[in-house]
Amino acid sequence: MRVHLHFPEAGSLKGKRAELNRVKALLRERLHASVAEVGHHDSWQRSTLAVAVVAGSAGGAEHAADTVQRVLDGRFPQGVFIERRLASWSDLESLG
């Protein structure tokens, strides 16, 4: 998943980082997702995250991704834009 976040209340890079760290910890600790900031590192009010979830089935992965989306929608009522791609092991092997 690629997650585009907006922090309208952030008045500084430090403020954005504090909120972003809370979001990343929530995704890692509560939802067991892997998270990395991949864009807008120096922007005060924007961030792009890569979020990965793993499951034993496509349905399980979709459920985990739905949960991530629900949590982020609740945390960012002004909106969050999420791009999703489901990949199987064989999809990933063909990239290598």
Specify the pTM.
0.85
Helix (H) or strand (E) holding 39: strand 34-39
> Is residue 49 scored above 70 in pLDDT?
yes
Residue 91's pLDDT band, with cuts at 50, 70 and 90, is confident
The residues, any chain, with a CB within 8 Å of residue 81's CB and separated by 6 or more, are 3, 4
pLDDT score of 96:
67
Per-residue pLDDT tens digits for 51-82: 999 998 989 999 999 999 999 999 988 778 99
In the chain, % of residues over pLDDT 70: 99
